[in-house]
């Protein structure tokens, strides 16, 4: 009986191992969804709500191969601009996890920047909470960026690249879900494809004024000096 139990355990272990997939190349679609009503205040808020959908969604593609990835706008959305507009709709972020370098193209008002800098360093706290996203079992992790912005991420170690939407990275697997409550915004993978990836797409953007994150941040602070409390949220949306 003991021999039978051992054989059965080994068989189950082999079946589970065969079912587990480890992906090093693929394409992920993300839906970025924002509650635009959350920023509406004042006497005209209710009138604006009647003419503006509560949520707006934009889609982005994240393509990866080995230790390189590109995050860029995907299929068209029918979303309409929110009350204050929607920054970061055309962000492109190339990440090289071997060299720890990021090259991003971002538009800030009428200016276009090509930002080359080190990958973001975040201190993640991994929890024992899980949820399923796009067919993958994902583990919850949290961190704080830009001094005070609390971030929740859900990652899977079945996709081996340590990346995520925008500039997020640093977990032991791919981030398929992201929540930033202070921006009233979520990023969730809608699908993961492992075939039909065009490796030529995984290349750094080239247009824009060469800059660093610190230089773009300084430009934003000067440009938004009279925006009051909304300035920080605009800056966070651009700099994530």
Q: What is the CATH number of the domain that holds 228?
A: 2.50.20
Counting the structural domains of the chain, the total is 1
User: Confidence band (pLDDT; 50, 70, 90) for 7?
Assistant: very low
Give the pLDDT of residue 81.
Answer: 55
Average pLDDT, integer, range 132-146: 97
Residue 6 has pLDDT above 50, yes or no: no
Whether 5 is in a domain gets the answer no
Confidence of residue 20 (pLDDT cuts 50, 70, 90): low
Residue position matching structure tokens 């991003």: 104
The answer to the question of residue 12 being in a domain is no
Residue-level pLDDT at 40 = 76
Burial call 134-172: b when 16+ CB within 10 Å, e when fewer: bebebbbbbbebeeebebbbbbbbbbbbbbbbbbbbbbe
**10 is a domain residue:** no
Q: Which residues contact 63 (CB under 8 A, 6 or more apart)?
A: 26, 27, 28, 69, 70, 197, 198, 201, 202
Confidence band, pLDDT 50/70/90 cuts, at residue 45: confident
Note whether residue 2 is domain-resident.
no
pLDDT of residue 86: 64
Is residue 59 pLDDT above 70, yes or no?
yes
Note whether residue 16 is domain-resident.
no
Domain that includes residue 160, residue range = 22-239
Token output for 197: 């990836």
Say what the pTM is.
Answer: 0.86
Indicate if the pLDDT at residue 83 is higher than 90.
no
Mean pLDDT check: name the lowest of 83-87, 125-129, 144-148, 207-211.
83-87
């Amino acid at each position: 009986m003991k021999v039978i139990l051992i054989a059965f355990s080994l068989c189950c272990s082999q079946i589970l191992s065969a079912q587990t997939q480890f992906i090093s190349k693929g394409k992920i679609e993300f839906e970025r969804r924002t509650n635009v009503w959350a920023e509406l205040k004042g006497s005209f808020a209710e009138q604006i709500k009647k003419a503006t959908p509560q949520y707006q969604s934009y889609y982005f593609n994240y393509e990866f191969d080995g230790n390189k990835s590109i995050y860029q706008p995907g299929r068209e959305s029918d979303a309409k601009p929110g009350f204050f507009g929607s920054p970061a709709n055309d962000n492109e972020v190339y990440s090289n996890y071997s060299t720890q370098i990021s090259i991003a193209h971002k538009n800030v008002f009428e200016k276009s920047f090509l930002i080359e800098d080190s990958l973001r360093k975040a201190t993640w706290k991994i929890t024992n909470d899980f949820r399923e996203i796009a067919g993958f079992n994902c583990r919850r992790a949290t961190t704080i960026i830009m001094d005070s912005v609390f971030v929740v991420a859900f990652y899977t170690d079945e996709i081996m690249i340590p990346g995520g939407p925008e500039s997020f990275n640093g977990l032991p697997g791919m981030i398929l879900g992201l929540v930033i409550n202070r921006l009233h915004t979520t990023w969730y993978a809608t699908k993961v494809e492992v075939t039909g990836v065009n490796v030529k797409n995984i290349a750094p953007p080239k247009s824009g004024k060469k800059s660093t994150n610190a230089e773009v941040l300084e430009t934003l602070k000067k440009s938004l000096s009279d925006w009051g409390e909304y300035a920080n949220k605009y800056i966070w949306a651009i700099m994530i």
